[in-house]
Amino acid sequence: MTSVANPAIAPGATEADLDQTTPAGSFSLARGLVAWREEMDAAVAAFFSSCVHCGLCASACPFYVETGDPQYTPIHKLEPLRLLWEQEYTLWGRLKVKAGLDQRRVTDAMLAQWEPLLYDSCSMCGRCSLVCPVGNDIQYMIRKAREGMVASGHAPEGLVAASVRAVTTGSPMGLQWKTLEVQIKHVETATGLTVPIDQPAADYLVLLSSMEIINFPEYLEAITKIFDHAGVSWTLSTQCFEATNAGIQIGSKDIAAQLVQRVVDAAEALAVKNVISPECGHAYTAIRWEGPNVIQRAYPFKVWHIIEVLDQLRAQGRLQTEGKEDDRLSLHDPCNLARKSGVIQQQRRLMDLIAGNFVDLKEHGEFQWCCGAGGGVSSNERAEPLKLAAFKRKKAQIEEVEPERMVTMCATCRTQLEEGLEEFNMDIPVVGLTELIADHLVEKG
């Protein structure tokens, strides 16, 4: 680690010096820079060199729009990574450093300054990537920048703690199987159905998020009812029930790989054909998109979000519903699901089944606005004021169409919507789409 010539350290400082001034543990600036160099791929180089500094990403970011603070311009959040790229990966940058014309350096102080920008003011919602006129995937680079922040010891405490709990206990909230077992008993009593556990060769392995188990136990009850209704072969796994991935949020592919591997091991142990991500946005992108990359192999099973599965059942005629909600309902698309994964029409077709008075938010689908809590922001207590500030955009969107209830399909979004609406004294309940579907199933005759 210390053998490599490093032009990006402070002038006059050796890397050993830096090691002593860096935060506790084995993390260091030098280690963070090594992590960044590994992340510096052709896409990053192309993105940085094609940025035209137009600032359109700012107007796409809820954190900038609601605070008006220019430091929250998305591309600015990447300045330390960009500086490293310029000074080590571009000809002019290298010449300027060699000739002593460029005295700027990526330092621990700089990373400490950028930590709130990379974590507190970014939910990795990807709206900036969508509007960038030259096609720079800014969100992709934020994800990469976080790798170096973790390795240099500049990750927020809340996310570090969640990551440690996720690895050591199997849940970012420290939840054990026995807690889930209590919920399963409740569900079985309430429905009179059996929740299948560790069923080999089931069609679907159902994963959950700790947030759902604690805050929204009705989700498990809903899928138990729906799958019974539709005759779906499914199972939970005692080996792994947690779908969320704190490693993705903190930005450590090592931690992420460990957590994804647990899901893969559980799915392979039971030889299931499909794995269902729960009503959680980042869990879905973690397993579906990042997973095979971080464990560096393809899965022998398919991954679906619960909403995709429900829509497939609907298309196959296996979802028989009756009656419609008659109050005015609107939909919040989770960023990870809609913008980052293209699941947009599925939830609307499902809404058609059960909503008699549905109104879409003006900007929805791929251009929806983030609730403000994703990407690890909700696990980071320091980000609380910013999280609420960013929510104001969602609030404004909701006020535009004045629904009586909001529907969504991500536990983090749902919690944020509930807390935010309460903060602004708006009496608009938030429900999960899966539960709404379960409420309207035709009773078996």
Partner 1 sequence: MAAYPHPGRPHPLPTTAATLGEALREQGVSRRGFLKFCAATASLMALPPTLAPAIASALEQARRPSVIWLSFQECTGCTEALTRSFSPTVESLILDLISLDYHHTLQAAAGTAAELAREQAMHANAGEYLVVVDGSLPGPRANPGYSTIAGISNLQMLRETIDGAAAVVAVGTCAAFGGLPQARPNPTGAVAVSDVVRDRPVINVSGCPPLPMVITGVLAQFLTFGNLPELDEYGRPRAFFGQSIHDRCYRRPFYDKGLFAETFDDEGARKGWCLYRLGCKGPMAYNACATMKWNGGTSWPVEAGHPCLGCSEPNFWDAGGFYRALSVPAGDTRGTLFAAGAIGATVGAGAAVLARQRSAAAKAERTPVTAAELEQTL
Q: Is the dihedral of CA 425, 428, 430, 431 positive or negative?
A: positive
Residue 36 or 241 having the CB closest to partner 1 = 36
Among residues 121, 163, 183, 330, which is the contact residue for partner 1, using CB under 8 A?
Answer: 163
Output the six-digit token pair for 99.
């000739």
302-305 β-sheet, strand order:
234-235, 204-206, 274-277, 302-305
The whole-angstrom separation of Cα 79 and Cα 85 is 10
Residue with tokens 């500086």: 83
Is residue 58 classed as helix, strand or coil in its secondary structure? helix
Collect all residues with Cβ–Cβ distance below 8 Å to 200 and sequence separation of at least 6: 270, 271
**Spatial CA neighbour of 280 closest among 228, 210, 345:** 210
Question: Does residue 408 belong to the site contacting partner 1 (CB under 8 A)?
Answer: no
Binding region for partner 1 (CB under 8 A) out of 39-47, 205-213, 352-360, 361-369: 39-47
Residue 254 or 352 having the CB closest to partner 1 = 254
Half-sphere exposure of 74 (CA within 13 A, CB side): 31
CB of 38 to partner 1, least distance (A): 4
Among residues 15, 29, 31, 347, which is the contact residue for partner 1, using CB under 8 A?
Answer: 31
CB of 42 to partner 1, least distance (A): 7
Residue 38 or 400 having the CB closest to partner 1 = 38
Site string for partner 1, 117-156 (x = CB under 8 A): ---------------------------------xx-x-x-
Residue 115 or 311 having the CB closest to partner 1 = 115
Residue 49 or 176 having the CB closest to partner 1 = 49
Residue 33 or 187 having the CB closest to partner 1 = 33
Query: Total number of residues binding partner 1 (CB under 8 A)?
Result: 38
Query: Per CB under 8 A, which of residues 43..102 are in contact with partner 1?
Result: 45, 88-89, 91
CB of 78 to partner 1, least distance (A): 17
405-408 β-sheet, strand order:
355-358, 325-331, 405-408, 430-432
Kindly give the interhelix angle for 29-39 and 79-89, rounded to the nearest 10 degrees.
70
Residue 91 or 99 having the CB closest to partner 1 = 91
Residue 143 or 394 having the CB closest to partner 1 = 143
The whole-angstrom separation of Cα 23 and Cα 341 is 37
Question: Does residue 167 belong to the site contacting partner 1 (CB under 8 A)?
Answer: yes
Q: Write the single-letter amino acid at 333.
A: D
Q: Write the single-letter amino acid at 202.
A: A
> Do 7 and 97 contact (CB within 8 A), yes or no?
yes
Q: Is the dihedral of CA 399, 333, 177, 251 positive or negative?
A: negative
Residue with tokens 């927020």: 156
Q: How far is CA 382 from the centre of its chain?
A: 18
Residue with tokens 């549905």: 358
CB of 37 to partner 1, least distance (A): 3
Question: Does residue 41 belong to the site contacting partner 1 (CB under 8 A)?
Answer: yes
Site string for partner 1, 11-30 (x = CB under 8 A): ------------xxxxx---
CB of 10 to partner 1, least distance (A): 20
Q: Which residues would be at the binding site for partner 1 (CB under 8 A)? A: 1, 3-4, 23-27, 31, 34-42, 45, 88-89, 91, 150-151, 153, 155, 157, 160-161, 163-164, 166-168, 252, 254-255, 258
